[in-house]
Amino acid sequence: TFARMAAALLAAILFLPCDAQAISAKSAIVLDGITGRVLYEKNSDQKSLIASTTKIMTALIVCQQSNVLDRVRIPAEAVGIEGSSVYLREGEILTVQDLLYGLMLHSGNDAAVALAIYCSGTVEGFAQLMNDKAYRLGMLQTHFENPNGLDSPAHYSTARDMAILTAYAMDNPIFAKTVSTKNITAGNRYLRNHNKLLWRVEGVDGVKTGFTKEAGRILVSSAVRQGRRLVAVTINDPNDWVDHATLLEEGFSRYRVEKVVSADACIGTVEVAGGESTQIQLLAQSDFYYALLENEEPEIVVQGPGFVYAPVVKGQAAGYAYVCLGGKAVGKIPVYYGETIEQYQVPEHSFWQKIFGDRG
């Protein structure tokens, strides 16, 4: 789940075995989108301008809150916006999906404003939606001022936060379909995706480029191979196409996703005090997968005092077990008791046994 991924992100600060200095970016990260493991990072919590990769959040909110078949009349406020543009005309009518293609393939700043006003009435109101969503996703080093990414001192994020956002956004089928489209005709405009990785690297299915003179080149990519999704983010990277190709290849080739724990498997025991049995099994509530290097061996650590008082009911929640690597927790699994153990009952004696004792 996304919650497990976010928890693992906070705990797992692990690296690809390649030289960080070989990556040209000022800051970067590679995230395993399924397990949440950070495979590589470089200054990943450094706040930076993020240019048009801002539009990942814009598109996500539009996909979640709008019907993409709705028709939008372009307001005057969305015409003639500075920077990259799909050259919207006032009064023109386009679908939300057309505008999403203009936003994510051609990076239209005017499309961003049109969608923001359509969803929220004002650009300022939409920016508040963006910040609310960022907070709920745990993007704690992020603040949005606008839907398009034009430079502003109060408009920033980090490589880590953008990876969290992207891994979440790619679970939205409309968002994923939009950013994976290589070219399309939308509203009588032929649009070709600016993301060259879609043609160059196996499995790439998104996501967004960005550039301003002050921010430099920003690139967020996603790729899927054999059911695994990796998300890579580079910020202020003059060699981003090559760096992303390298980071994605390293991530897929050096790491494999393994099932560390199976649902209903016994992962430990605890002592039972005052019960008809003295020990009880703890069973895993769910499967747990993690991206591992060839020689890594995760350790399962059961939390708690090591004993429980009877009675204990089969299926009753028994806390958590932690999956650890190198002494650090990288995930946790809910556990439950594998059987019912009744409280030990002292045999009752009859009236005569109480007077004369048990003479056998």
Q: Which is catalytic among the residues 27, 44, 48, 52?
A: 52
Q: Which is catalytic among the residues 44, 84, 107, 157?
A: 107
What tokens appear for 105 in the block?
A: 């393939």
Percent of the chain that is helix, strand, coil (3-state, to 5): 30, 30, 40
What tokens appear for 40 in the block?
A: 């590589």
Maximum Cα interatomic distance, the chain, rounded to a whole number of Å: 105
Determine whether 350 is an active site residue: no
Determine whether 107 is an active site residue: yes
Q: How far apart are CA 107 and CA 169, in angstroms?
A: 17
How remote is the C-alpha of 176 from its chain's centroid?
14
Buried b (16+ CB within 10 A) or exposed e, 323-343: bbbeeebbbbbebbbbebbee
DSSP-H helix ranges across the chain:
2-11, 55-65, 96-104, 109-120, 123-136, 159-169, 173-180, 197-200, 240-254, 351-356
Q: Which is catalytic among the residues 42, 44, 55, 180?
A: 55
Nearest alpha-carbon partner for 336 in 265, 278, 259, 261: 265
* Residues with a known catalytic role: 52, 55, 107
